[in-house]
């Protein structure tokens, strides 16, 4: 299972020569991924005031998010990633940076954040990390604040009669996290997980979840909308083919 220590070691020693853009290639590039897959899913949350991005890596999504907020905090377990973002966004005076313990938001004031965002990073963590961050959401979100968190759904595939999974864990997903577990965490601490989109990632199984979280009693407080999107990879292929067609013209 991907522990905090394993994540720190892996991402500290990772070859970041492509800045993380290598993970966008199957969508036809990072801008294509943002415009075609990510932005449509968070468009109703942007623009915003105070934004916190968890685990930005080398700023693959940050480059788009920073134009959509008044102020921004980047929080990452890996000092190397924070240093790279400091350098990349050195001229952006509205961004500040935090190296954390992999599960909390130190230095982020209570009820000060309008949007917490994390994409393609927290899929590689276990329940202890998700539990920590969800607890922090209950502390830092403003009354109408929202979070968009991309996390694992692999626990939904745990073998009912023993250890392991009924499917292959092909992409180093956290094995103790699922959409239902995240919803239950939110329910227990007074948050509402008002929408979850389960998506397939590199296969047919719904191994990932995009969870939308807000405060109980806010304007977004409503029964969970659960979307089972088994066409996410088809969406990826269309974006890739579109990008390739534009490049060939």
The backbone torsions φ and ψ at residue 44, rounded to the nearest 5 degrees and listed phi first, read -80, -5
- The encoded tokens of residue 26 equal 């199957």
Burial of 114 (0-12, 13-18, 19+ CB in 10 A): buried
Residue 161 confidence class, pLDDT cut points 50, 70, 90: confident
Specify whether the CB–CB gap between 141 and 48 falls below 8 A.
Answer: no
Instruction: Name the CA dihedral angle for 116, 118, 123, 127, rounded to a multiple of 10 degrees.
Output: -20
| Cα 136 to Cα 108: distance, rounded to the nearest angstrom | 9
Domains in the chain: boundaries: 4-248
Query: What is the percent of the chain where pLDDT is above 70?
Result: 98
Asked whether residue 150 carries a pLDDT value surpassing 80, the answer given is: yes
CA separation for the pair 219, 143 (Å, rounded): 9
**Measured CA distances, 6 to 21, 98, 224 (Å):** 22, 20, 33
Q: Tokens 């940050």 sit at which residue?
A: 62
**Residue 248 confidence (pLDDT):** 57
Which CATH homologous superfamily contains domain 4-248? Vaccinia Virus protein VP39 (3.40.50.150)
**Residue 106 CB partners (closer than 8 Å, separation 6+):** 98, 100
What pTM, to 2 d.p., does this model score? 0.97
Task: Indicate if the pLDDT at residue 246 is higher than 90.
Answer: no
Per the prediction, the chain carries an average pLDDT of: 96
């Amino acid at each position: 299972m991907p522990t905090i220590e394993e994540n720190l070691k892996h991402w500290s020693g990772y070859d970041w020569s492509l800045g993380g853009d290598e993970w966008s290639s199957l969508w036809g590039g990072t801008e294509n991924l943002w415009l075609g897959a990510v932005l449509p899913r968070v468009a109703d949350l942007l623009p915003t005031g105070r934004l916190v991005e968890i685990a930005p890596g080398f700023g693959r999504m940050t480059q788009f998010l920073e134009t959509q907020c008044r102020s921004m905090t980047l929080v990452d377990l890996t000092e190397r990633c924070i240093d790279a973002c400091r350098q990349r966004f050195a001229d952006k005076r509205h961004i500040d940076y935090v190296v954390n313990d992999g599960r909390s938001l130190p230095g982020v004031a209570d009820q000060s954040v309008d949007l917490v965002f994390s994409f393609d990073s927290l899929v590689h963590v276990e329940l202890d990390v998700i539990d920590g961050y969800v607890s922090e959401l209950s502390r830092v979100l403003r009354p109408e604040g929202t979070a968009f968190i991309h996390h694992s759904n692999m626990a939904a595939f745990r073998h009912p009669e023993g250890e392991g999974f009924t499917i292959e864990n092909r992409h180093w997903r956290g094995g103790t996290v699922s959409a239902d577990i995240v919803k239950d965490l939110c329910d227990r601490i007074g948050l509402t997980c008002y929408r979850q989109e389960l998506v397939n990632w590199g296969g047919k199984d719904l191994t990932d979840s995009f969870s939308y979280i807000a405060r109980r009693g806010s304007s977004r407080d409503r029964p969970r909308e659960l979307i089972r999107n088994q066409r996410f990879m088809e969406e990826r292929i269309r974006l890739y083919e579109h990008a390739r067609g534009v490049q060939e013209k």
